[in-house]
Structure 1
Amino acid sequence: MRVYWNLRYAGKRVGQYTIDRLLGEGKYGLCFLAKSGNGNQVVIKKYKKSLRKDNLPDRINKAVILSKLEDERIPEFLGVINVSGFYGFVLAYKRGSTVKDLLFTHRHIFSWEEFYHIGTQLIDIIKYLHDNGVVHRDIRIPNVVIDQGKLSLIDFGLARWADKEASYDLDFSYLGDFFLYLLYSNYERQNKRKPWLKELPWYDELSLTQEQIMFLKRLFGMEARYDNISDIETDFIKFFNINKRF
């Protein structure tokens, strides 16, 4: 489908923007890299037609959320395109590589120092969101971009204002899962030549201290869940500082 969408939209002008290429396709629509009239690169998230009428309040809510966030680590909301059946949001483009690409395309192994510095930056971004009443709800490896050691968090398609149905702790489980991807990049399976042996759960398989295991279990809700991101930040710095190796 990527070839089809590129053939259909590459070079097409929508509003003041010219589409360059497809970045990705998701449940709600298409994501394009484009250029503005002055040559600046932007991201255009085009919504599927079937979602436009039914999800109008939801789309308005996302636009309001993005427009309220002002942080260089989060894509700036630049506006809305609604021309000739093409409806989408325009966002600033964040340069760099996603953690997903680093892991699975480039086979990057994250060192302990990288893990710690990435963790502290990501927690700080989540802290900013929560301080502003926003729950991201999709903190995954495709949505974290690294450019020369600096992090950005993208794709706010599932973001919500915090309430009873969208509580802050939804982001904690995603954060724990994200951390496991980085930790496993540095893990060499001992029994890879014996595939018949049963794999162990992460807390028995990874070389982590009991404090580190408890930290991750609390993120997942396997133990008493953290109350807020500030407590997570404190414990992460305490338990995962660069002097505590794998």
Structure 2
Amino acid sequence: MRFYRTLKYAGKKFSQYTIDRLLGEGRYGLCFLARSESGNKVVIKKYKTSLGQKELPNCIDEAVILSKLKDKRIPAFLGVVNEKRFYGFVLEYKNGCTVKELLFKHNYKFTRREVFHTGLQLINIIQYLHENGVVHRDIRIPNVLMYQGKVCLIDFGLARWADKTYRYDLDFSYLGDFLLYLIYSSYEKKEKNKQLPWPKKLPWYEELSLTSEQQLFLRKLLGLEFVYENINDIKTDFIRAFSISRY
């Protein structure tokens, strides 16, 4: 299916943009790498023509939110393409590799220093979003880009303005899960106990070599303990628990 999508759109021109290749496919549509007439790379998110009246406002939220945010760590909203049954948003292209690609394609192992600096950068981005009234709701390893040690957060398709339904703490468990991926990347499994008929599956807080402070921090993020109320407290506790000068 991916090959078919690439063949169908590759080389086609919509507005001032020429489609290069398919980057991915999601619930609401397709994501393409494209080039402007001046040769600049952009990302075009094409939405399905079958979207109903209930789904379309959710897509529009992404455009409105990105147009309000002005930060180099977040792709800028550049405009709309609407022609020939092709409707989509044009977004700034960000260089880099997703953390998912780093972990599962390149088998990258994050050092403790990198866990700290990557995590702190991501927390700073979340802090910026929350200060501007935005909840991302999809902070996962495919949506975090890294380039020369710098972090960018992409895919605002599920982002919403914060209210009683879309609370800031919706981002916290995603952050905890993201950090566990980084920590697990350098984890080395111990030799299996040959006396056991099957290997015992341990929870992360028993399997990983973490300080009690780090465990408590992650448990609170994941909702296993008293949960955090705001990103500022998370930032303070993360620095205290994971600062490379402390372990």
Same fold (TM over 0.5): yes
1:59 maps to what in 2? 59
Q: Does 1:211 pair with 2:221?
A: no
The AA in structure 2 aligned to 1:48 is K
Once the 2 structures are TM-superposed, how far is the Cα of residue 164 of structure 1 from its aligned partner? Answer: 1.1
Residue 50 of structure 2: SS of its match in structure 1? helix
Structure 1: 5+ residue stretches without partners = none
Q: Does 1:37 pair with 2:51?
A: no
> Distance between the aligned counterparts of 1:47 and 1:188, measured in 2?
42
What is the correspondence of 1:151-230 to structure 2 with a 5 Å cutoff?
151-191=151-191, 196-230=198-232
Residue 67 of structure 1: SS of its match in structure 2? helix
Contact 1:191 1:197 in 2 (8 A): no
Contact 1:32 1:45 in 2 (8 A): yes
Once the 2 structures are TM-superposed, how far is the Cα of residue 91 of structure 1 from its aligned partner? Answer: 0.2
Normalised to the residue count of structure 2, the TM-score between the two structures is 0.96
Once the 2 structures are TM-superposed, how far is the Cα of residue 37 of structure 1 from its aligned partner? Answer: 1.0
Q: What is the percent sequence identity of the aligned residues?
A: 67
Once the 2 structures are TM-superposed, how far is the Cα of residue 197 of structure 1 from its aligned partner? Answer: 1.6
The AA in structure 1 aligned to 2:204 is W
> Distance between the aligned counterparts of 2:7 and 2:56, measured in 1?
29
Contact 1:31 1:46 in 2 (8 A): yes
Once the 2 structures are TM-superposed, how far is the Cα of residue 171 of structure 1 from its aligned partner? Answer: 0.3
Output one character per residue of 1:75-120: Cα deviation in whole Å (capped at 9) or x when no partner. 0000111111101110000101100000000000000010000011
Residue 70 of structure 1: SS of its match in structure 2? coil
2:142 maps to what in 1? 142
Residue 157 of structure 1: SS of its match in structure 2? coil
Contact 1:14 1:83 in 2 (8 A): yes
Output one character per residue of 1:103-147: Cα deviation in whole Å (capped at 9) or x when no partner. 000000000010000011000000000000000000000000000
1:69 maps to what in 2? 69
2:49 maps to what in 1? 49
The AA in structure 1 aligned to 2:209 is S
Normalised to the residue count of structure 1, the TM-score between the two structures is 0.97
> Distance between the aligned counterparts of 1:138 and 1:15, measured in 2?
30
Output one character per residue of 1:173-227: Cα deviation in whole Å (capped at 9) or x when no partner. 0000000000000101114586812110000000001110000010011111101
> Distance between the aligned counterparts of 1:180 and 1:216, measured in 2?
8
Q: Does 1:26 pair with 2:48?
A: no
Q: Which aligned runs of 4 or more in structure 1 are off by greater than 4 angstroms?
A: 192-195
Structure 2: 5+ residue stretches without partners = none
Counterpart among 222, 242, 245 of residue 243 in structure 1:
245
The AA in structure 2 aligned to 1:159 is A
Once the 2 structures are TM-superposed, how far is the Cα of residue 55 of structure 1 from its aligned partner? Answer: 2.2
Equivalences, count? 245
Pick which of 192-201 and 232-241 moved more.
192-201
> Distance between the aligned counterparts of 1:119 and 1:57, measured in 2?
32
Once the 2 structures are TM-superposed, how far is the Cα of residue 58 of structure 1 from its aligned partner? Answer: 2.0
Once the 2 structures are TM-superposed, how far is the Cα of residue 52 of structure 1 from its aligned partner? Answer: 5.2
The AA in structure 2 aligned to 1:127 is Q
> Distance between the aligned counterparts of 1:177 and 1:244, measured in 2?
22
Pair 169,163 (structure 1): closer, same or farther in 2 beyond 3 Å: same
